[in-house]
Amino acid sequence: MVACAVGAPFAVLVAEQLFALGCELLISITSAGQIAEIWPPPYFVLIERAMRDEGTSHHYLAPSIFVAADADLIAATSDALKEAGVGFHVGATWTTDAPFRETRRAIEAARFQGVLAVEMEAAALYALAKSCRRHVVCLAYVTNAMGQSGVDFEKGADGGAANALRVLDAVIAKWRTSKIRPPR
């Protein structure tokens, strides 16, 4: 478990080191801002694809708007969360290195692309996974509506740690019993 690997370059640096040390599954849980109004925060988004608006992913894959997660890993993670009774949505996020450039226009453009939330790591981690044939699954813990209310950055009584640990426990338990093959 590594805390506070914030931002695409640092998250990928840590991931590369973990994989070099023998890591078989990397689970990223990051806090995120709400783009689509699904539920009042906080809640989880299981990131099936991430919009690439950061620089790191472009060092691993050719340019594209989105990078997708491994479908088998998303399905197994979804099953694990359902079995554990965790409320979540499966969908897309917007990965950006420039959190202070999340303008109204950029938010609307992301919403038009079907994006549920904004975060800072998933696109780069999924590009690494695809390029290097590694198992990576990313979840966004949507904790705020991007500064639009007084308690907007409230993550819960324990900062969301109990919810994150519940998710980790469920996903790891499912991973141990799954027959997921190396990514395509």
User: Which 3-state string (H, E, C) describes 26-77?
Assistant: EEEEEEEEECCCCCCCCEEEEEEEEEEECCHHHHCCCCCCEEECCHHHHHHH
CA nearest to 56, candidates 130, 137, 123: 123
- Reported as a pLDDT band with limits 50, 70 and 90, residue 154 is low
Q: What is the pLDDT of residue 147?
A: 56
Residue 88 Cα distances to 42, 91, 135, 151, 183, angstroms? 10, 10, 21, 21, 24
Q: What is the pLDDT of residue 158?
A: 57
Quickly list DSSP for 123-178.
HHHHHHHHHHT--EEEEEEEEESSS-STTTT---TTTTHHHHHHHHHHHHHHHHH-
Task: Look over the chain and give the mean of its residue pLDDT values, rounded to a whole number.
Answer: 89
Whether residue 87 is contained in a domain is answered as yes
Q: How many domains does the chain have?
A: 1
Whether residue 142 is contained in a domain is answered as yes
Residue 74 has pLDDT above 60, yes or no: yes
- Reported as a pLDDT band with limits 50, 70 and 90, residue 159 is low
Whether residue 90 is contained in a domain is answered as yes
Which residue in this structure is represented by tokens 């906080």? 42
Q: Read off the pTM.
A: 0.90
Residue 71: φ, ψ to 5°: -60, -40
Mean pLDDT, to the nearest integer, of 65-70? 97
Whether residue 183 is contained in a domain is answered as no
Whether residue 14 is contained in a domain is answered as no
- Reported as a pLDDT band with limits 50, 70 and 90, residue 1 is low
Q: For residue 119, give the CATH number of its domain.
A: 3.40.50.1580
Q: What is the pLDDT of residues 120-140, one digit of tens each?
A: 999 999 999 999 999 999 999
Q: What is the pLDDT of residue 179?
A: 76
- Reported as a pLDDT band with limits 50, 70 and 90, residue 3 is confident
Q: Which domain holds residue 33?
A: 24-177
Whether residue 10 is contained in a domain is answered as no
Whether residue 7 is contained in a domain is answered as no
- Reported as a pLDDT band with limits 50, 70 and 90, residue 60 is very high
Q: What is the pLDDT of residue 126?
A: 98
Q: What is the pLDDT of residue 28?
A: 95
Whether residue 165 is contained in a domain is answered as yes
Residue 152 has pLDDT above 60, yes or no: no
- Crossing angle for the helix pair 71-83 and 161-177, to the nearest 10 degrees: 120
Q: Are strands 26-34 and 136-144 parallel, antiparallel or unpaired?
A: parallel
